[in-house]
Amino acid sequence: MESIAIHTYLFLGFAGFFAGFVDSIAGGGGLISLPVLISAGFPPHLALGTNKLQGSFGTFTATLNYSRKHLVSFRETFQGIIFTAIGAGIGTVTIQHLSADFLNNIIPVLLLTVFLYILFFPQLGTKDSKAFLSHNTFYIIFGLTLGFYDGFFGPGAGSFWMMVFVIFMGINLKKATAHTKIMNFTSNIIALIFFIIGNNVMYTAGIIMGIGQMLGAYTGSNLVVLKGVKFIRVFFLAVIALTIIKMAVSVYL
C-alpha cells in the first residue's frame, strides 16, 4: 500500500490507546482497532496482521500488570495457553486463504445473547461460584474454539473469553478479565507469527499503535484493580451493546 501520512500515524496511535484501554477492561479492543486500520486504507489481510502486532503490545502489558497484582497464575492457565495457541495457529492459517465476511452475520447474534444473559443475571460474576467444567475440559473446548476464532478473525474474542470464564469456570469478573488477557496474548502472538510468515504485517503502523495500546492497557488494567467487579460489569455491558450496534449496522444496513 502507499506510504502513510504523519497525521494518520497520530490517529492510529490514539486509536491504539483507546483500544488497549477498552480491551484491558472488557475485551473488544479489536472492534476499535481493526476498523480503524481498514479505514486507513489497509487491505483486509494486512489489516488483520497489523492488528495482531499492535494488539500484542496491549495484551502483554495488561497480562503483566494483572500478574504483578496477583490476579492470575500462569501455572493455573498453562493448559489454556497450549490449546489456545493450537487453535489460533489453525485459525490464522485458515483466514489467510478464506474470507472472514460470513462471520459478521453470526457475531452480533452471539454478542446479543451474552449481553442479555449478563443484563438479566446481575449477580453473575460478582463472586466466585461452582465451576461447571474441569480445567482440562474447559481449556480443550474453549482454547481450541476461541483460539481459532481469534486467529481467524479476532474482534470480540476477549468478550467471549470473559463470559466463558465466568459461566463455566465460576470465577468472578475481575479474575476473568485477568485470565482473558493471557489467552488473548497467546492467540495474538501465535497469529502474529503466521501473519509475518504470510508477509501480512505493516510494522511501522503496528508499532505506533502498539505504543498506544501499552499506555491504554496499563491505564485500563489499573482501573480494574482499583474499581472492582461492578465497574467491569457496567463497562462490559456498554462495550458489548456498542459492539452489537456497530456490527449489526455494518452487516444488515
- The position carrying cell 447474534 is 109
Alpha-carbon gap, residue 232 to 237, rounded angstroms = 8
Q: Which pTM was predicted?
A: 0.80
- Residue 193 confidence (pLDDT): 94
Alpha-carbon gap, residue 124 to 233, rounded angstroms = 9
- Residue 175 confidence (pLDDT): 87
Alpha-carbon gap, residue 63 to 183, rounded angstroms = 9
Alpha-carbon gap, residue 66 to 35, rounded angstroms = 27
| Regions of the chain where pLDDT drops below 70 | 1-3, 98-108, 110-111, 114-115, 117-118, 121-128, 155, 228-229, 243, 246-248, 250-253
Q: Are 26 and 159 in contact (CB under 8 A)?
A: yes
Question: DSSP H helical segments within the chain, as ranges?
Answer: 6-26, 30-39, 44-68, 78-95, 107-120, 135-152, 157-169, 173-197, 203-227, 229-252
- Residue 100 confidence (pLDDT): 57
3-class DSSP state for residue 153? coil
- Residue 252 confidence (pLDDT): 61
- Residue 237 confidence (pLDDT): 74
- The position carrying cell 484493580 is 225
- Residue 196 confidence (pLDDT): 94
